[in-house]
Amino acid sequence: MAIGSVVALAGGVGGAKLTQGLAAVLESGKLTVVVNTADDFEHLGLYICPDLDTVMYTLCGLNNLEAGWGLELESWNFMEALQEIGSETWFRLGDRDLATHVQRTYRMHANDKLSDITADFCSTMGTDVRVLPMSDDPVRTIVDTDIGPIPFQEYFVRLGCSPKVCGFEFEGIQTAVFNPLASESFNAQDLRAVIICPSNPYVSIAPILSLAGARNQLRNIAAPIIAVSPIVDGQAIKGPAAKMMRELGCNPSALSVAQEYRDIVDGFVIDNKDAAEARQIEEMGQRVLVTDTIMTSITVKKRLANNIMDFANEIQARNI
């Protein structure tokens, strides 16, 4: 059992998997996950938080492994009826998943904070991990593409990531306040590491780091900051990260991700398949851990989490 507290920054599937490993190797109540909310959106009047839900469902063991989103043992009768009355069906909402969206929307309209609603969900669904939205204020990713600017979920789900990406905007980022509970967790006396999960650097991690004060606070903490590459062997395990990199004129590689995080990261974790890139990453001043990062089972997730914690200890020891 690793000692001390850890803060993880996460987006969707890949991030969620690693938080599951971390939750299993840390003491109860010692993991905080700061989750991207820039791909949240309102759909049919419902307030939907895809990354928050993926992290929350995964930590509670309720996630749909096959789809990579939503709940396991899901049914689709709402969706079928919605189609019959001619409503929008491009964004799939399962019958059970809908309870989360309806309840969240209801409470948001009653001016409850997304943080509080999320905490209540975690408590009723059964995890003691502190899952925090990066902000209680709305931030919305707009994908700049060859066919114009597109709201993230339209790009991601409706258009299946097909338009060519040329950049990103995070609407609302100038005024959104970095979650004070996240800020607090960075300042914990027993903080052992901040871990940037293997999530999309452009649309999952960048929004978190773009919130006023977040990046600066990270630069000034004593505990090591470790990022895990979401790119393995030139491919994203899931999602459009590699495609985005190519379209932005950048080689899809662990090295390219390491460059994105250059100014804040102490250690970088890459997969065995990318061992050849270790030296170049080290030359940028980051320590490198080469290990198995493809999280195909809870065993691999826990082993990876343990390896990352050992890596953090090692960096910490050298820095003293």
Query: Which parts of this chain interact with a second copy (CB under 8 A)?
Result: 44-46, 71, 74-75, 77-82, 84-87, 95-100, 102-103, 105-106, 109, 120-121, 124-125
CB of 67 to a second copy, least distance (A): 16
Q: Tell me what percent of the chain is helix, strand and coil, each rounded to the nearest 5.
A: 40, 20, 35
Question: Residue 105, SS3?
Answer: helix
Complex with a second copy: residue 35 or 237, whichever CB lies closer: 35
Q: Residue 131: enclosing H or E segment and its boundaries?
A: strand 130-133
Complex with a second copy: residue 63 or 307, whichever CB lies closer: 63
Contact (Cβ atoms closer than 8 angstroms) between residue 42 and residue 80: no
Complex with a second copy: residue 102 or 221, whichever CB lies closer: 102
Which of 268, 293, 266 lies closest to 278, judged by CA?
268
CB of 120 to a second copy, least distance (A): 8
CB of 64 to a second copy, least distance (A): 13
CB of 79 to a second copy, least distance (A): 8
- Tracing tokens 């390491």 back to the chain, one arrives at 258
Complex with a second copy: residue 24 or 78, whichever CB lies closer: 78
List Cβ<8 Å contacts ≥24 apart for 271-274.
271/229, 271/232, 271/233, 273/232, 273/233, 274/229, 274/231, 274/232, 274/233
Complex with a second copy: residue 79 or 176, whichever CB lies closer: 79
CB of 93 to a second copy, least distance (A): 9
Which of 314, 304, 311, 306 lies closest to 14, judged by CA?
304
Contact (Cβ atoms closer than 8 angstroms) between residue 164 and residue 195: no
CB of 23 to a second copy, least distance (A): 20
Complex with a second copy: residue 119 or 161, whichever CB lies closer: 119
Contact (Cβ atoms closer than 8 angstroms) between residue 39 and residue 152: yes
Question: Residue 29, SS3?
Answer: coil
